[in-house]
Amino acid sequence: MAIIGIDLGTTNSACGIWANGELSLIKNRLGDTLTPSVVGLDDTGEVIVGRRAKERLISHSDLTVAVFKRLMGSNHKVKLGKKEFSAIELSALILKALKEDAEAHLNATVDAAVISVPAYFNDNQRHATKLAGELAGLEVNRLINEPTAAAVAYGLHEKQEGTFLVLDMGGGTFDVSILEFFDGIMEVHASAGDNFLGGEDFVTAMVNDFLQQQEVKSSTLNKAQLNSLYMQMETIKRRVDVLDGTPFSFNLGKHTVEWTPTADWFQKISTPLLLRAKIPIERAMRDAKTRADDIDDIILVGGATRMKLFRNTIGRMFGRFPSANIDPDTVVAQGAAVQAGLVAKDAALDDVVLTDVCPYTLGTAIHNSNTKEAGYFFPIIERNAVVPISIVKRLYTAEDNQTSVNVRVYQGENRTVDKNIFLGDLDVKVPKKKAGEEAIDVRYSYDMNGLLEIDVEVVSTGEKVNKVIHNAPGSLSEEEIGKCREKLAQLKFHPRDQEENKALVAKGERLYESFIGEQREWIAQILKAFDAVLERQNPIEIQQERKKLSQILDDLDNEDWL
């Protein structure tokens, strides 16, 4: 069974495969590596995708649609003629075309895929992407974050080790990831992004400013005229430095105007978007506790990063120009193909290990401890925690004689839950007691595919309630859920109970008993600090601190007293 890697993009999509120790990009039926993410209906009502559909965006605008990736995870429907399609169905049509192209290229059946998603896609959008793959006849073995995929392709291509900042701006989204590559391990330290910032937004800003200059409202133009205007502005955006001062003719319905775009004009209207791009970059740097001097290289991914203005902005931020040694339009597909090779256990990739992070904070709703006001967000798994991960937190009843607790699950970064994304809930019964006297342990377990499982245990009775959060029903088969739950089950223990940690603490306690005075106090302090690390339940931090503590205790234990 062949497993392919797919970059399901806003503007273009691509796929590749890792086989026989090497990477190959797969060309579509027209001989192109990139397939436009455009879907339409022809004059007979038959579905068409890719370049053929893109050519009809202007002439048959009522039967053609693009940029639908931005609708993933929503209930929005797109009308093509008399038919309606969801973003999931439209994406499935693109994926089906890529699957057929891969089968023709390989002369073999393709049943499975690794599909890339923006790092900042929320759980609803990830489940929608997985469902689109299933509708296309693909078993989605893994969803991989786009900048992570790009870094994998870059790391294997360049064979460099170090810390990399990956900036991925495609047609509709902007992702930032900070990764470290060492000894065959690609470790993601932080991700951030903006799901509504991409090349299309620069074009929209150009169109809106132009129409404002001409004192024309977009509502007075039909869909074909608007599509034509957008395509002309797309051309100007891509070649603004070359076309600086070149006049263009625009059809504005009842009249045609001559207008000359300039590089200065483009820079002026792009400035607000470039300022927005700085926000996720700074957030990722803070989360990873990384400074500009710590970055060994800056990798550009996505067609929109070709803009000279974007590259100059990044150059000014970091005092050096970024790298683009691999085609930014296909690097994500290349990385997804490498990940597919890892899933297929290709011998040539035996030494490659890939970690990823949870891009959003996952938590629950609580009452304010002082005012008793409801609706506050209590984080359980913090954003940029390495996955898979399992964290437990203890919560207490908020009212006297409370008989049940409704654990409501949210995703986001705001201190109030109404501004975060609601994912689901579950109820658990508790004995009647005074407020704060009954407790529940709430455990969140999260894996690389975005499967979130909630376990709640009533402390006094031992009663347990479990629920897997489904945002898009049908996106995971029962068998897939079973496999993921088996993996997560292995994580469901407090790090304090892990054998290595218990053994190390026992050694520290033995040495505490062996010493007196200041040395004994010092051992008590370092054990207390390690205990605090265990309470935070961050596996990477625990591993690092365990190594430090082990060395300290070994040195104490090996001191020569004779």
Identify how many contiguous H helices and E strands the chain contains and give both numbers: 14, 28
CA distance 284 to 306: 22
Q: What is the token pair recorded at 384?
A: 């940029």
Please tell me which residue in 146, 180, 200, 382 is annotated as part of the active site: 146
Residues 200, 10: contact at Cβ < 8 Å?
A: yes
Residues 17, 102: contact at Cβ < 8 Å?
A: yes
Whether 7 is a known active-site residue: answer yes
Q: What are phi and psi of 11, to 5 degrees?
A: -100, -50
Which residues, 6+ apart, have CB-to-CB distance to 317 below 8 Å?
A: 278, 281, 292
Q: What is the token pair recorded at 272?
A: 């607000």
CA distance 425 to 382: 19
Residue 368 exposed, middle or buried by CB count within 10 Å (0-12, 13-18, 19+): exposed
Task: Give the DSSP per-residue string, 430-490.
Answer: ----STTS-EEEEEEEE-TT--EEEEEEETTT--EEEEEE-SSTTSS-HHHHHHHHHHHHT
CA distance 178 to 197: 19
The amino acid at residue 179 is L
Residues 40, 56: contact at Cβ < 8 Å?
A: yes
Whether 146 is a known active-site residue: answer yes
CA distance 130 to 143: 8
Q: Measured in Å, how far apart are the chain's first and last C-alpha atoms?
A: 66
Radius of gyration of the chain (CA): 27
The amino acid at residue 458 is V
Q: At what angle do helices 87-106 and 123-135 cross, to 10 degrees?
A: 50
Alpha helices in 159-262 (DSSP H): 199-213, 223-238, 240-243
CA 296 to chain centre: 22
Pairing of the two strands 22-26 and 404-411: unpaired
CA distance 237 to 108: 41
Mapped onto helix, strand or coil, the DSSP state of residue 39 is strand
User: 78: which strand partners?
Assistant: 85
Please tell me which residue in 89, 101, 134, 168 is annotated as part of the active site: 168
Task: Give the DSSP per-residue string, 180-203.
Answer: EEETTEEEEEEEEEETT-SHHHHH
CA 288 to chain centre: 16
Whether 69 is a known active-site residue: answer yes
Task: Give the DSSP per-residue string, 61-96.
Answer: GGGEEE-GGGGTTS--EEEETTEEEEHHHHHHHHHH
Whether 555 is a known active-site residue: answer no
Which of the residues are catalytic?
A: 7, 69, 146, 168
